[in-house]
Structure 1
């Protein structure tokens, strides 16, 4: 357990940041789920629209330190290629 005043404060801050980061991560997952559902439905316009909405959220996750830059780059790349493939298939 934290003993010094500084370590007590750091523990409080860590708890607060954890809650904020959980909310951010959950929000990002929601946007990703919408893209996945749109891709599964086979509607390219809907999927492209969902991806456009998800991209700023993913980027915000990087700037806030919730997700790693390369993780987001990989996710965006894979999702955009899947959305693009929907158009070629139709």
Structure 2
């Protein structure tokens, strides 16, 4: 029984981190990282659309620096649907 308690304690010590890389307070760039312990997945990977004053810019992408820095934890990606603001 103590082994199960220890294993349960370790599992409860981990917290789910929800890290938005884009898509908050804006339309487009939907990209969210779900991280739990040594594993993370990405939900959607969309592009945004430029503001009127962003001359010469066709698409705006999320800041992927967190994914690059933690790429060994990345286990997969889920795409919710096929709109441009959710897939790139």
Shorter-chain TM band: 0.3 to 0.5
Which structure's residues are more often helix, by fraction?
A: 1
Pair member with larger Rg: 1
TM-score (norm 1): 0.37
TM-score (norm 2): 0.37
